[in-house]
Amino acid sequence: MCSDDQIVFDEARQLIRDGDFAGALIPLEALIAVHPRSAALRWHRSRCLRALERDAEAIADLDTVIALRPDYVPALVARAELAEADEAGEEAIGLLRRALAIDADDADVGFRLSLLLADHGAHDEAIALLTRAIASDPSRHEAWRLRADLRHRLAASPADDADVVSDPLGMRYDRAQLEAALADYQAAVAIADDLRVDLRIADIAQRLGRYEEAVVHGDAVLARLAADDPVRSHVQELRDRAAAGPDGEREHYARMIEAALGDATGADRDLHEDMANAALRSAADHIRRGADVSSALETFVPESAEDASAAYIAHQIHNLAHEPPPGLEPAVASEFPGYQQRHLAAVRRTIEPLGYVHLTDAEARNLGQTLGQRVVIGLYVHPQYGTAAAYAMRPKWPGLLGFLALFLSGKWRAQRMLECVSRFADGTFLSTREAGADVFEYDAAESFHLEKLADGSGPRAVAERHAVRVRERLADLPGSAVDVPTTLDGIEGQWIESNQLKAEYRRSIDYVTDAELRGLLGRHYDRYAEKVRARLALMTAE
C-alpha cells in the first residue's frame, strides 16, 4: 500500500474509532477497489458493516478475510458470532474450534465455545473447556459458575451405577456431580459476591445432608436482602427448612399437600371430595414417615392419565392467582441460551429508537424455580409510557402428562414476548403484548387492563400500540400521570402489585371462565373440562 493509500486507511480507522461507521465505509471501499485482496481492508469493512447491521455483506467480507488469512482469530470469532445470530449453531461451533486450535490459550474464545456447546447439550466438552479456562485464569468468576451450572445439570441425570442422593420429591442426583458442582459454586462465590450462587450452594448442601452449611449460606443471602425485600420471606423459608434438618423439607411438602384441601369440614364435602381428603392426608402422613412425594401420591392417590392431566391443567390455572414475587436480580445476558440473547438484541434495536431506555437485564429467580429453567429478561423504561420487558423461553420436557397439558394449550413452542406496562397514579395498570398461546382475559378486571395483539405483530407494533393507549388514557383523565420506576426494586414492586390485581380478579371469577377453558382445551373441552373444574374446586376449597 503506497503512502497516499496509507493516509486514507488511517483516516478510515479514525472514523471507526469515532463511531462513524457509515463514513468509514467510503474510504475503505475506495481502497478495496484498488486492493481487492487486502485482508486488513476487508476486515475493517466487515466491522463497519456489522455495526450498521448489514450482516449478509459482513459475512461475505469475513469469508474473504478467512480465505486470505485462515489463522486470523478475530475474523473466525466474528464470523462465529454472525453464524450464531443466524441460528447456525453447528457452524459457529466449528469456527470457534478452528480459532481455539490456532490459539489454545485464548480464554475468551474457550469460554464462548463452552457456552455454545452447553447450549447444544455437549456438556462434557464444555466442562473440559471451562476447566482449561479456569486453569489459565483461576479468578474468572463466570467460568467457575458456568462449570458449576453444567455439573449441577448433569447431576440430575445419574447413571444407573452412580452413587445417588434423593430428595423428598423423588428426584435422584449423582452424588459425585453434586459434590463437584458445590465445589465450583464455592470457588465462584469466593471470587465475587453472588446471591444466586449462595442460594444454589444452600440448595445443594441440603441435598447432600449438610444442613449447617445450607443454613450458613441462607443466612448470607438474608444478610444482604433489605428488610422489605419481597423475596426475603421465601429465602427465610428455605433457610428454616434447612435448619430443621432432614425433616424440614418433608414437613414442608406434607403441609403443601394438606393446604390444597383447604379448611372445608366433612359436612361440606361430597363423597368424592371426602375420598380425596382422606387420600391426600394419608399421603402427607406417609411423606412425614420418609416416603418421597411421588411414591406417596402414587400409593394413596391413584389416578388415570386423564385425571393426572386434568390435575396438571388445574394447577396451572390455580398458579395464575398464586404467583410468587419475581425476585428480580441483575443478570448477564451472555450467560443465557443464544435464542434468548438474540430476542433481547432484536427487541432492543426496535424499541430504543422509540424512546425506551435499557435499564438492565435481569433474572426472576423465583419464577425460574417455577418454570424449571433460567430466563433472562430485558427491562426498559420510557419517560412517558412506563416499563417494557422482553423475554424468550422454551418449554422444558415435563414428562408425558405435562407434555399433554402443554400440547392441549398450544404452548409446546418457544415464546418470544415484549410486554409494555404502565402504572398510573390511581393504581390502574395498562399492559400490551402479543397474544401468544395465552387464552386468559382480564377485560372485566377493575384496575388491570390487558390488550393482546395478534401473534406476529412484533415488538414495534406492541410498543406503538401501547403508546397510543397511554396517550388516550391521559387525555381522558387530565392531571393523571404514569409512575415510571427507575430501579430494579421499583419494577419488582409494580410487578407484584399488578400480580395482586390479576389474582384478585381470578379469585372473583373462580379462577377461570368457561370461555377461557374452552379456548385452553379446544376440541378436548368435553373430555377434560369437568375434571379440571373438579380439581380447581379441590385446590381452592375453603
Could you tell me which residues come within 8 angstroms of residue 66 by beta carbon, excluding any fewer than 6 positions away?
Answer: 72, 75, 76, 79
Are the CB atoms for 350 and 460 separated by under 8 Å? yes
Better-scored residue on pLDDT, 198 or 522: 198
DSSP letter at 355? T
Domain count, the chain: 2
Q: Are 520 and 408 in contact (CB under 8 A)?
A: yes
- The mean predicted confidence, pLDDT, of the chain is 83
| Domain contains 110 | yes
Average pLDDT over residues 120-144: 91
Q: Per mean pLDDT, which range of 113-122, 282-291, 413-422, 520-529 is the poorest?
A: 282-291
**Coil, helix or strand at residue 448:** strand
Identify whether residues 149 and 24 lie together within a single domain.
yes
Given a cut of 70, whether residue 413 has pLDDT beyond it is: no
Least confident stretch, 296-310, 328-342, 395-409: 395-409
What's residue 262's pLDDT? 61
Task: Report the percent of the chain where pLDDT is more than 90.
Answer: 34
Q: Which of 244, 260, 287 is the last residue of a domain?
A: 244
**Claim to verify: residue 133 and residue 10 sit in the same structural domain:** yes
Q: Is the pLDDT of residue 456 over 90?
A: no
On whether both 332 and 234 belong to a single domain, the answer is no
CA dist., res. 10 & res. 6, Å (int):
6
Who wins on pLDDT, 483 or 258?
483
Shared domain check, 84 and 200: yes
Q: Measure Cα distances from 167 to 78, 293, 430 in Å.
A: 44, 9, 42
Residue 147's pLDDT is 94
Question: Do 18 and 159 belong to one domain?
Answer: yes
Alpha helices in 140-210 (DSSP H): 141-155, 175-191, 195-207
Between 87 and 21, residue with greater pLDDT: 21
Q: Is it the case that residue 314 has pLDDT exceeding 80? A: no
Look at residue 356 and tell me whether its pLDDT is greater than 80: yes
Q: Residue 157 is part of a domain; what is its CATH number?
A: 1.25.40.10
Place of cell 454472525: 82
Chain centroid to Cα 264, Å, comes to 38
**Domain assignment present for 275:** no
Average pLDDT over every residue of 262-267? 44
Gap between the Cα atoms of 167 and 179, Å rounded? 15
Which residues in 483-519 are b (16+ Cβ under 10 Å) and which e?
Answer: ebbeeeebbbbbbeebbebbbebbeeeebbeeebbeb
Each residue's pLDDT tens digit, 272-299: 454 455 567 767 777 887 878 777 776 5
**332 and 232 part of one domain:** no
Report which of 371, 259, 271, 519 is spatially closest to residue 528, judged by C-alpha positions: 519
Residue ranges in 263-337 assigned as alpha helix (H): 271-288, 293-300, 305-319
Instruction: Please classify residue 220 by burial: count the beta carbons closer than 10 Å to its beta carbon, then call 0-12 exposed, 13-18 middle and 19+ buried.
Output: middle
User: Would you place residue 538 in the very low, low, confident or very high pLDDT band (cuts 50, 70, 90)?
Assistant: low
**Residue at 36 is within a domain:** yes
Average of pLDDT values for 84-109? 86
* Same domain, residue pair 9 and 146: yes
Q: Verify that 73 and 187 share a domain, yes or no.
A: yes
540 vs 477, residue with greater confidence: 477
Start-to-end CA span in the chain (Å): 84
Average pLDDT over residues 16-30: 84
**For residue 390, what pLDDT band results from cuts at 50, 70 and 90?**
very high
Single-letter amino acid, residue 207: R
- State which H helix or E strand residue 451 sits in: strand 448-453
Question: Poorest-confidence range of 135-149, 224-238, 307-321?
Answer: 307-321
Contact criterion met (CB below 8 Å) for 309 and 405: yes
Note whether 120 and 218 are same-domain residues: yes
Q: Percentage of the chain surpassing pLDDT 70?
A: 86
Rg (the chain; Cα; Å): 27
Q: Say whether both 336 and 235 belong to one domain.
A: no
Asked if residue 172 is part of any domain, the answer here is yes
pTM over 0.85: no
Q: Best-predicted range by mean pLDDT among 39-48, 178-187, 428-437, 438-447? A: 178-187
Residue 256 counted as domain residue: no
Query: Among 212, 244, 276, where does a domain finish?
Result: 244
Mean pLDDT value across residues 436-442: 78
> Three cell numbers at 101?
486450535
In a domain, 524, yes or no: no
pLDDT band per the 50, 70, 90 thresholds, residue 140: very high
**Residue 266, in any domain of the structure:** no
User: Quick check: 258 pLDDT over 80?
Assistant: no
User: What range does the domain containing 218 cover?
Assistant: 3-244
Model confidence band, residue 374 (pLDDT cutoffs 50, 70, 90)? confident
Name the pLDDT band for 2 (thresholds 50, 70, 90): low
Residue 409 lies in a domain: yes
240 and 332 belong to one structural domain? no
Query: pLDDT for 186-237, tens place per residue?
Result: 999 999 988 888 888 998 998 898 999 999 989 988 988 888 887 788 888 8
